[in-house]
Structure 1
Amino acid sequence: MKKIHLSLIATATILLIGSLLFGWFHLYVNQPTIPKGVQVAGWHVGGMQTDDVLKQLNNKLTQLEHLPVRYEAEHQNIPDLVFTLSEAGVRYEADTFREAIAQLQEGSWLARISNRWNFQPNWTITSHLDTGLLKSKLNPAWEKQYFGPIIDASRRISEKDQIIYTPEISASRLDWNKLLRNLTSIIPKDFTLITNAQITASPLTLQLPVIIKRPIVTVNSLKKEGIERKITEFSTSLFSSSPGRIFNVNSAAQAVNGMIIKPGEEFDYSKVIKQAETKYGFQEAPVIINGKLAPGIGGGICQVSSTIYHAAILTGMEIVERRNHSIPVSYLPLGQDATFASGSINFRFKNNTGKYLLIHATVQENMLTVKFYGTFREDTQYLIESITVETLPASNKYVQNATLAVGSQEVLQDGKTGYIVETFQVKKVKGVVVDKKRISRDTYRPQSRLIAVHPDVNNKGMAPSPPAKSIVEDGVRGPDL
């Protein structure tokens, strides 16, 4: 009997102890409070209700983000600025602490007991900075308004061809690297500035660090380009030109005016024409098609290329591509012109001076004037000499006319003589000829005598001439294009 009683007592004792332990574990695991001795960023939360802590945590993080920051600029005529941390791009979070609290309420009993028993006492909050928000407020327009504009140095040519420089203007600009470092250093790392759920009266203060920003283009950088003086000038006449032709010449001249050619860079007249047509347009004026003048658009543009070619020869530039007109022009001697035909004929030269080259081109009082400014030896001079080495007689060109009598003919257009011309560049140093070289051998085709004949195969030697391939020179479009 005694053994039975002892067994019952032992069993009851074990059940009681188990019940007590189960009750204790249940109460321990399901506590609605934060473990004692815990603090978050200096805020003591041990023993507080978990829901209250999470709610207050949200409020405190929001209050931190709404802390005002005064931005002060020393020695600058700028009013103090006040942005909250949130407006400056600062955001706070305490995700690690929130996850730890969640683990107190989730998982198995053993895991929850372990998490509560090992719950660490000290937790931090984390700040994140989005630099774009502050930069959008203190943007370049704001900097320009309060610090002033940064202005490049400029260069202009006076009426007397003097090179005149206007100095650059520097101005302060925010030192963003230092500003962001300073902002990061004053961002609160805890809740000590939050007292009784109220924001402290004194805002955070941050100096606006500035640096002096200098423009890219300075007087020194401009002078290093080597545009020292006018090195040549050449003009051609427009006195016999129609209003449309003068307009076209002026359009091309405006596209050239102010162009700067870097050392070793090529001047490309096809690019000039594209720019002129897009920006200024061209009018109707005679163009050259198959050795004859015909109505077209852009007539006269080759007077600009020819005038520039002449100036390039006078300064010893390297001619990369150039061809003479198919017929003589009135504004330059034979052998000294440069024609252009879109997609077929171009004019290019390379700046071989070792310095920058500035081109000015203007139309005034029926004169086209081209000036080169750059670096050129004052004791050196280039001259141009052109010699006609052969005269080419005009040939006959026949067209059919059924109204004429068989065997008869009618001269519709007189022919013109053609020429073969050789042009030489003469180099003088201190007035003495040191070099003379041929730079071109040009052919100006004769213009055929145009004769009408009856379409009779018996007209020996008078068969109609085959049509020539049409190339529009000295313009951009012909009458049918």
Structure 2
Amino acid sequence: MEDSQNQRFRRDNANLVSGTDLSRRRRSSAKKQRFKFDFKRSKRLYIALGLIISFLVVVALSATIYTWDQHLIVDGVTISDVDVGNMTMDQAKETMELEVERLLGQTVKLNVDEQVKEVKLEDLGLNVSADAALEEAYQVSRRGTIINKVLAKMKTSEGIKLGLAQEWDEDKLLQRLNNDLGEFNKPAKDASFDINPNNSMAIKKEVVGRVIDTEDLVDRIKDIDIFSQVPEFTVKYKDQLPIVTAAQLEEQKITGLLASYTTRFDPSQTARSENVRIAARAMDKAVIKPGDTLSFNKIVGERTVEAGYKDAYIIVNGKFVPGLAGGICQVSSTLYNTGLLANLPVTQRSNHDLAISYVPLGQDATVAYPDLDLKFNNNTGGYLLVRTKVSSNSVTIELYGKVVQGQEVLISSKIESVIPVEEQRLVDETLAHGASRTTQEGQPGYVVKSFRTIKLNGNIKNTETLNQSKYSPLPKIISVGA
């Protein structure tokens, strides 16, 4: 029995050893199989990777060769239907220059009345340029990555169409149309008038004009398809209405004398008297439109020797001194009073530094070209006509216009204060000791307020305070012997 147990023990141990070896052998075999599998899989991966790399190299080489820059525009590119594919930039430029020249040389026929005017598109202000299109054409398949270049070049097989740039110079177009077609215009004529000997207006009726409708023609020309046959155009006319009509002039016409004012001068002062006459003649028959400004300097102009003006006494810095055109302030002062009496709004006026005698205090107006001016606004709703009359010792200014029936204008002045005369004694070595003589009579200064009163049918409608006038005193000068 003991032997039987020992035998079983030995059998079990033998089986155990045998099982362990078997397991070991199995594990070893599995490792070998896995190694073989991993090796085969790795080999396949390497082969696949090699193939991919080879493919990519081939593709890259093919793409490089396909997009190789031979400095030619790619095949399939056209500019306004002109084929520029496979051309160098210089060749393409030359080709497009000929095309631009052809396009600009096309002629437009303008049928006006029974005549035909032919004008080239270039002369009508058309500008055509191929520069941008040529640059775009040359850059096809040259921008971006190689893939972008390949795709862009492949796309040219479908055709890439580019266009010429075109633009109209509208100023040149209008100028050419006006030059070529201006002879066919019959411009409108405004209503006008002549001044009758009685200072009224003889009105001439307006005329409606007929002129080329350049706006319509410009629009049609700019819509031309320059790549097709250029069409002919029948020129259209439109009426041109006058700006001023006889009906307007009837509303604004001169109906009578608004105001008149006269001042007197010493004819023995020949130079001064001549200056008065020249300035008065310059103002005669001046016409001021409704709403415009009556300006003394604008009407009379610059006072020059060439215009005939002479030296006479003028007031400068509170003194009487010789100066060119002395005396014309009498004309401006006469106009000032006429304008006041015509009830015109005063927009610019300055009084003299010293009081003068030919108009009441506060009613003078000094002028000096070009800035020191006398101005009125013509708010009458009608035209103003200036008439002047000069006698041997007086100047009269009349204003004709649209009379307001029943209107009366009164001008008054009030001395606010008197500035006394100062006496100056100056040594004169030509006089005997103790002797004296008055070389300049003085005159006081004044501060004056002036007023304009408007009456309508005898009733006061308004009283207006005019500009205050301040006159400096003129000193009395006594020369005394040393």
TM-score bucket of the superposed structures, by smaller chain: 0.5 to 0.7
* Alignment CA distance shift 1:102-1:339 (3 Å): closer
| TM-superposed deviation, 1:360 | 1.5
Shift of the 141–364 alpha-carbon distance from structure 1 to 2, 3 Å rule, reads farther
* Separation in 2, partners of 1:427, 1:446: 33
2:258 to 231, 235, 245: 231
1:373 maps to which residue?
Answer: 400
Relative distance call for 1:325 and 1:428 in structure 2 (3 A) is farther
- Distance in 2, matches of 1:395 and 1:39, equals 98
Q: CA deviation at 1:73?
A: 3.8
The Cα offsets for residues 3-56 of structure 1, whole Å up to 9 and x where unpaired, read as xxxxxxx9xxx9xx99999998788657989757x876556x69x865699479
CA distance in 1, matches of 2:315, 2:388: 24
More relative contact order, 1 or 2 (CA 8 Å, 6+ apart): 1
2:222 is aligned with what amino acid?
T
- Which digits, 9 at most, give the CA deviation of each residue in 1:344-402, with x for residues without a partner? x9775654855356352535554533222333312223356789999999997644345
| Counterpart secondary structure, 1:161 | coil
Partner of 1:362, secondary structure, is strand
How far apart, in 1, do the equivalents of 2:217 and 2:415 lie? 75
Match of 1:302 among 321, 325, 329: 329
Instruction: Verify: 1:182 aligned to 2:217, yes or no.
Output: no
Shift of residue 182 of structure 1?
1.6
**CA offset at residue 340 of structure 1?**
1.9
Question: How far apart in 2 are the matches of 1:103 and 1:398?
Answer: 101
Match for residue 65 of structure 1? 103
Name the structure 2 match of 1:117. Answer: 154
**What TM-score comes out, normalization by structure 2 length?**
0.62
Partners of 1:289 and 1:57 in 2: how far apart?
Answer: 79
Corresponding residue for residue 453 of structure 1: 480
The residue matched to 1:186 in structure 2 has which SS? Answer: coil
User: In the aligned structure 2, how far is the partner of 1:26 from the partner of 1:157?
Assistant: 92
In the alignment, structure 1 residue 93 sits paired with structure 2 residue 130? yes
SS at match of 2:260: strand
Which region of structure 1 is more displaced relative to structure 2, 157-166 or 345-354? Answer: 345-354
Aligned-partner Cα distance in 2 for 1:132–1:313:
51
User: Does residue 74 in structure 1 map to residue 112 in structure 2?
Assistant: yes
Count matched residues: 421
Distance in 1, matches of 2:443 and 2:63, equals 121
After superposition, the Cα gap between the structure-2 partners of 1:127 and 1:146, relative to the gap in structure 1 and judged at 3 Å, is farther
Instruction: Please list the CA deviations of residues 125-175 of structure 1 after superposition, one character each: whole Å capped at 9, or x if unmatched.
Output: 334023247427516555544425565554443322112344556655554
Q: Higher helix share goes to which structure?
A: 2
Structure 1's unaligned 5+ residue stretches are: 1-9, 194-202, 456-481
Give the structure 1 partner of residue 166 of structure 2. Answer: 128
Counterparts in 2 of 1:167 and 1:435: CA distance versus 1, 3 Å: closer
Between the two proteins, what is the percent identity of the paired residues?
A: 17
1:266–1:348 Cα contact (<8 Å) kept: no
Gaps of 5+ in 2: 1-46
**C-alpha deviation, 1:123, in angstroms:** 1.7
Q: Which moved more, 1:167-176 or 1:367-376?
A: 167-176
Taking the aligned partners of 2:168 and 2:417, their CA distance within structure 1 comes to 80
Q: CA deviation at 1:329?
A: 3.2
Larger radius of gyration: 2
Q: Would you say the 8 A contact 2:200–2:254 is kept in 1?
A: no
Contact 2:353–2:471 under 8 Å retained in 1:
yes
Distance 1:109 1:322, change over 3 A: closer
CA contact under 8 A between 2:187 and 2:240: conserved in structure 1? Answer: no
Aligned-residue offset at 1:211? 3.9
Is residue 92–residue 128 contact of structure 1 (8 Å, CA) maintained in 2?
A: yes
CA distance in 1, matches of 2:416, 2:65: 120
Q: CA RMSD in A?
A: 5.6
Residues 341 and 399 of structure 1: is their aligned pair in 2 closer, same or farther, counting only changes over 3 Å? farther
Q: In structure 2, the residue corresponding to 1:313 is in which secondary structure?
A: helix
Structure 1 residue 284 corresponds to structure 2 residue 345:
no
The within-5 A match list for 1:52-451 is: 54=92, 57-58=95-96, 61-62=99-100, 64-75=102-113, 79-85=116-122, 88-93=125-130, 95-96=132-133, 99-100=136-137, 102-104=139-141, 110-119=147-156, 120-121=158-159, 123-132=161-170, 134-135=172-173, 138=176, 140-142=178-180, 144-148=182-186, 153-167=191-205, 171-189=209-227, 204-214=231-241, 216-219=243-246, 229-237=256-264, 240=267, 242-253=269-280, 256=283, 258=286, 260=288, 263=291, 275-276=302-303, 280=307, 282-288=309-315, 294-318=321-345, 321=349, 323=351, 326=354, 329=357, 332=359, 334-335=360-361, 337-340=363-366, 350-351=376-377, 353=379, 355=381, 358-362=384-388, 364-366=390-392, 368-383=395-410, 398-402=425-429, 408-412=434-438, 429-430=456-457, 432=458, 434=460, 451=478
Amino acid at match of 1:260: I
* In 2: Cα distance, 1:59 partner to 1:102 partner: 19
1:89 is displaced (CA, Å) by: 1.3
Counterpart Cα distance in 2 of 1:261 and 1:249: 25
Q: SS of the residue aligned with 2:140?
A: helix
SS at match of 1:370: strand
Q: Structure 2 vs 1, CA of residues 449 and 69 (structure 1 numbering), >3 Å: closer, same or farther?
A: closer
Distance 2:461 2:97 in 1: 90
SS of aligned partner of 1:118: helix
Secondary structure of 2:218's partner?
A: helix
CA distance in 1 between partners of 2:404 and 2:135 (Å): 80
Deviation at 1:94, TM superposition (A): 8.1
The whole-number CA distance in structure 1 between the counterparts of 2:375 and 2:321 is 29
For 1:164 and 1:181, locate their aligned partners in 2 and report how far apart those are by CA, in whole Å. Answer: 43
Letter in 1 for 2:335: I
Which string of whole-angstrom CA distances, capped at 9 and with x for unpartnered residues, describes residues 317-357 of structure 1? Answer: 45575647845535x5x4485142759x9775654855356
Cα distance in 1 for residues equivalent to 2:376 and 2:324: 29
Letter in 1 for 2:154: W
Task: Give TM-score scaled by structure 1 length.
Answer: 0.63
